[in-house]
Amino acid sequence: MPRLRILQLGIADYSRTWDLQRSLFERRLTDETDDSLILCEHPHTYTVGRDGVDHLGRHLLMNKVELALHGIQVFEIDRGGDITYHGPGQLVGYPILDLNGYYRDVHRYLRDLEEVIIRTTGTFGLTGHRIDKATGVWVDTPRGPEKICAIGVKVTRWITMHGFALNVHTDLKYFQHIVPCGISDKGVTSIQTLLGRPVPMPDVEEELIRRFAEVFGVTTIRPEPEPVLP
C-alpha cells in the first residue's frame, strides 16, 4: 500500500505553496520522497489555468486598481482549466502523486479526485455529483446545479501537481468578480451555505484525508510541515 505524506499548512501564501509543489514534484521524480498531499487555505487569490489565459480579459472582471484595493493577487499557472478563486474558508488540496504506482490514466485520476470530494461532502449530509464535460463537484440547489469544488491538475511524466479547492465557509462574493472556470450559466456554493450553519475546517480536513486514503488506497503519515511557509 503506497504511503501518503500529509502536509497541513493552515493559511499559506500561494506563490510559496506553488514553490513547495515544484520542490516535491522534483523529489518525487527522483524517488527521494513519498507521495504527498498538501492541504491549506490561501489569502485572496485568483489563479488562471492554461485554458483561461486567452480569455483573461473577459473572465477576470476587476482591473488592477480594484484588485489592489481588495488585496487580491493573480497568478497565471500551468494547470488545466480556466480562472478560479482561492481564499480563507476554502480547503485547497495539492496531491503530488506518482501515478505509476496507481494507474496511468489522467481521466480516472480526475474522477477519483471528484469521488474524494463527493464522499467528503456526503459525510456532512450533502449530495455532490458530476456534470458531464465539467470537471469538479456540483450540488443541486433551487437555483440549479452549483459548483462546490473546482479541480484543475497538471500531470508530467505521470506525476501530478495542482488539485482541488473545496468551498467550506468561503466568502462567495469573491466569485462575483470572475467567470468561475469560464462557466457563466452556473453558480458557486459552499458547505456552510448549503447547511445554513458553520462547519469547522478541521472537521472537513480530517474527513477529506480519510476519504482520500480510502479512494486511493494509501496509508497516511504526518511528518512535520516543510519549513518554508507561510
Asked whether the bond before 200 is cis by omega within 30 degrees of 0, the reply is no
Contact partners, residue 163, CB within 8 Å, separation at least 6 = 92, 93, 94, 95, 113, 151, 152, 153
- The one catalytic residue in 181, 188, 191, 209 is 181
Distances (CA, A) of 44 to 53, 102, 213: 19, 34, 29
Decide if 181 is catalytic. yes
| C-alpha count within 13 angstroms, C-beta hemisphere, residue 205 | 20
Distances (CA, A) of 169 to 148, 160, 191, 204: 11, 27, 6, 11
Which residues participate in catalysis according to the annotation? 181
